[in-house]
Each structure stands twice: as C-alpha cells, then as structure tokens.
A and B are shown apart, each in its own frame.
Chain A
Amino acid sequence: MSSDNLVEFQNVSFAYGKRPILNGISMSVPRGKVVAIMGGSGCGKTTLLRLIGGQIRPAQGQVLVDGQTVHDLDADGLYHMRRRMGMLFQFGALFTDMSVFDNVAFQMREHTDLPESVISDLVLMKLHAVGLRGARDLMPSELSGGMARRVALARAVALDPMLIMYDEPFAGLDPISLGVIGNLIRRLNDALGATSIVVTHDVHESLEIVDYVYFVSDGVIVAHGTPDEMRASDKPFVHQFVHGEEDGPVPFHYPASSYGSDLRLGVKNA
C-alpha cells in the first residue's frame, strides 16, 4: 500500500442480492491524477464510486481512501471523510427546491460557520470558475442540461475536496457542453491539486483529458493503461470499445435461444 495512491481497491467483490456486480477488482488511483473507469452500461462502474463513498460495503476485499479502509469507519468517520470528497452525479442531482446559489452554498452552510458574506464570495468564485456567475438566481428547472452539470460541478468542488468523483459527466450533453465539461474536469483537478475519478463510457472525450484508464467488463478489469496505450491496444474488448464496433467480445445480441427455433422454422431442437 503506497501513500502515492489516494484510492486503492484490493480484490474487491460486490453483489446486489445474488447478482454479482464486481468480481475481484484491484486498482489504484494515484494522487493528483485524473483516472477514467470505462465500460459498457450496467457493468458496475457506478458501484465503484458508491464503494469509495462508503454508501455500500464490499462483500469481499478492501477499499482504501487516503490510507483508511472505508467500510471500517464509523458514521462520524465516514461523514468526516465524505467532507473531503466531491461527487458529480449523473444528472447533476441539484436540489430542486433551492436556487443555483443555494445549491453551491449548501455544504458551506452545513459544515462551516462562515459568515454569509464570506460564503457569498466563495460561491461566486466557484460559479465564476464554471462560467455561471450570472445564473446564480436561477432555479435548477430553468437550467439546460449542460448548465445544470456545471452547477453540480461547482457544488461538488465547493469545499475544495481532495477527491472528485464524476458519474457519467458527459451523458446527454451537446458537443459544446461536452468539451466545456471535459476541460473543466481537467482544469479544476489541477487547480485544486485534487485527484479525480471519471466514470464514463464516452471514449473520445475522456481519452483527451485523463492520465490513466481502467476498462471494466462483467465485473473485472479487462485492460488498463494510458490513453495512448489504449488507442493503440489490440485487445479485442478495448478495440471494440474505443472504436465503437457493434459486435465483438461484447455481443450485439442479448443471450437467447437460436433464432430459427424462436421463429418456429421447423428445425426441431435447433
């Protein structure tokens, strides 16, 4: 266990009921880096983030954050650790009953005793960083998808976290917002001296901005390396994923009995 890694998974398995999600995953996220976790939908990427945040417990193995085993922490320890994490949820998860300003101010008001004038300055700085200082009085329902994602990003970094986690930050964005969010992820990480984990299936956008990539499929890590290594990789899964091919190790067809017998084409026991 080296202290150069902020997050470490050691042989972690997890299952929802009887459905196995993760199967012996080991990986590490070095301090100061932006690491992407990629894989098809429903392959357990979000589960990895929930394990880091301590929202679920692994069935087996250990998740270490900053040298501490997450699931050994008591409620206070866990909440203490979460204050140093920021998370961007898939669709922003902004509090719909609060304005943009109050959303970003939420954690500062909950966790600090700062006077309102200081909070106001801090919030405007965070909003300025994502280019939405002028939108402070809008309600989340008045924002476009890309703007909501940027507000959520400002909220995630409100307390200058050591670890920022992104759950599908690119899902459902137009090309302009896509580039904006990608650059913000990189810039914020470097400006804050934080470490970032980006869970995504958007290959092209994320390969541009990240330092290292893990590919997850069926609950195991099938490949990992730098973006350049991944682009050049000839592993069938990575090739299929990076180039978006329809069929390959990840089949186009959901497992089914044979086509002929389904259509009753007279072939018995086909």
Chain B
Amino acid sequence: MPNSLVRGVRRTGHRVIDSLWRLGVASRFFVLILLHSGTSFRRLHLIIKELFSTGVLSLIIILVSGLFVGMVLGMQGYDTLQRYGSEEALGVMVALSLVRELGPVVAALLFASRAGSAITAEIGLMKATEQLSAMEMMAVNPIARVVAPRFWAGVISMPLLAAMFSAMGVFGGYLVGVKLIGVDEGSFWSQMQNAVDFQQDIVNGIIKSFVFGVAVTAIALFEGYDAPPTAEGVSGATTRTVVTSSLAILALDFMLTAFMFRGEG
C-alpha cells in the first residue's frame, strides 16, 4: 500500500516536472524565434514564400467555411429574430457574431488544422531527414532560416484570413437572409453599419486573430522542432499541434473576450 502510494506520487511529480520542463523549452524556443527574426525581415522573400503556403493555400477552406457559417447564421438568426418581429436586425446579428467571435475563432481553428498541422509535419520531417542538422553544419541557423519566416508568415496571414472569413460570412448571411428569405435589404445593411463599431468590434476581432495567429504558429513550429525524428514522432506531433492549438484558441478567446467586452450590454 505505501509502496503504490509512493509510486503514484512519484509518477505525478514526474509528469508535472516533465510538462514544466517542456513549457520552459517551448518558451525558450519562442524567445529564440523573436531574437532571430531580423534575418527574415531583411530577406522578405523568405516570408513571402511561406505566406503563400500558409496563407494563400488556406484561402479555399477559409472562404468556403466562412460562406457556409454565414449562411447558417442567416437561417438560424432569422428563425429566432422573427419570433420577436425584429428580423431586420439580422444583419447586425450576423455581422457582430462573425466579427467578434466566429470569424477569429473558427478561422483560427481551421488555420490550426490546415496550416498548423502542415507546418509541424514539414519541420518534423526536415528534422527526421537531418535537413536541420545539415543546415546547422553549414553554419546556417535553422531557427533564423526555417522557423522564423514561417512564424511571421503565420502571424501575418491569420488576421487577414479571419477578416476574409468574416467578410465571406456576412455575404453568406446576406445571401440567405435577403436574397432567399426576403429580409429588407436596406435595413439589413444600414442597421449593420450603425451597430458595428470599428474600435470595439472590428479592432478587437483583429487583435484576437493576431493573438491566435501567434499561438497557433508558435505551437505548430515548436511541436515540429521538438518532434522525435521518427514516423510515429512526427505523426504524434502533428496531432498534438491540432489538439493543443485548438484548446489554446478557445482558452485565449475566453480570456480576451472577458477583457474586451466586459460591462457591455
């Protein structure tokens, strides 16, 4: 009995120390990325190349999902609002839910599974095939050459993708609400314009997606860089990227929302 107790305590302690240690390694990695970012800004073509693979290649999934989320919002929103006879507020509802929450969060979740997993797998395989070692032996720092450009590409593309997601969503809401169901077009747009505040809603949404971009890209890069150089190692790291960054997005969203919108009616 005391023996198993000791073993239990020891195992718990082991896990705690391990995760703290990993967190420390991850933080150190994050600081290293920032320290070595100079090169990537001096050689912008490195970032631009990554912007294509993380940003542009994520466009289709982001735009299509945005359209469908907006259309569903239009249908569900109309169904609820017409019970209170205020269906012309549909535009406000669609726009606010997208710009404040769904745009940044859903776009970030999609980004984590589309671009984040790709980043982890790519870096993990580069490590497994000794490409990162080779780069080190050629006196080129892989964090400056490989990791930092991908980080900034992710951070730059995330807010843009979230904005496009929201725009597509508003368009989807318009298609369903105005064109299909027949809500008055004038009030749909004018009420939206009146109710959506640039500072309070749009800028806050952009800040959110920026934070999500930092979190997702940093997690994806770290998991790839830290992955054991085997097939199972890389596949495990890819899974962890999607799980960890999705949870991080939702937790960060809660915290940011609590700071940004408290006391709002």
Contacts and interface: CB of A to CB of B under 8 A. Distances in A.
User: Do A and B come from the same complex?
Assistant: yes
A80 B130 contact: no
Interface stretch (B107-115, B137-145, B172-180): B137-145
Contacts of B134: 87, 89, 93, 95
Contact of A96 (B129, B135, B138): B129
A78 to B, nearest CB: 8
B253 to A, nearest CB: 33
A93 B140 contact: no
B129 A82 contact: no
B145 A93 contact: no
A243 interface: no
Interface in B111-148: 125-126, 129-131, 133-141, 145
Chain B contact residues: helix, strand, loop or mixed: helix
Interface string B179-198: 00000000000000000000
Contacts of B133: 55, 89, 93
Contact of A110 (B131, B136, B140): B140
A82 B139 CA distance: 5
A53 B138 contact: no
A133 B258 CA distance: 61
B137 A55 contact: yes
A80 B139 contact: yes
Nearest to B137: A87
A96 B126 CA distance: 8
Contact-size category for A: 10 to 19
Nearest to A75: B141
B129 A93 contact: yes
User: Which of A90, A91, A93 has the most chain B CB within a 10 Å cutoff?
Assistant: A93
A26 interface: no
A107 B131 CA distance: 13
A95 B131 contact: yes
A83 interface: yes
A85 interface: yes
B139 A93 contact: no
Interface string A65-91: 000000000000001101101010111
B129 A111 contact: no
A82 B137 contact: yes
B136 A111 contact: no
A90 B130 contact: yes
A117 B129 CA distance: 31
B129 A91 contact: yes
Contacts of A111: 139-140
A107 B126 CA distance: 17
Contacts, number: 48
A85 B130 contact: no
Interface string A1-34: 0000000000000000000000000000000000
A79 B139 contact: yes
Contacts of B130: 89-91, 93
A193 B186 CA distance: 81
B140 A107 contact: yes
A194 to B, nearest CB: 15
B122 to A, nearest CB: 8
A83 B139 contact: yes
A106 B135 CA distance: 9
Interface in A141-176: none
A257 B129 CA distance: 37
A77 to B, nearest CB: 11
Contacts of B131: 93-96
A93 B126 CA distance: 8
Interface in B68-101: none
Nearest to B53: A97
A73 to B, nearest CB: 12
A96 B131 CA distance: 8
Interface in B130-171: 130-131, 133-141, 145
Contact of B138 (A80, A91, A94, A106): A106
Contacts of B136: 53, 55, 82
Nearest to A50: B133
Contacts of A96: 125-126, 129, 131
A90 to B, nearest CB: 7
Given A55-B137, A107-B138, A110-B139, 6 more contacts: A89-B134, A91-B129, A93-B133, A94-B131, A95-B135, A110-B138
User: 9 tightest A-B contacts by CB?
Assistant: A82-B139, A93-B130, A93-B134, A79-B139, A87-B137, A83-B139, A89-B130, A110-B140, A107-B138
12 contacts: A55-B136, A55-B137, A82-B137, A89-B133, A93-B134, A95-B126, A96-B126, A96-B129, A106-B138, A110-B138, A110-B145, A111-B139
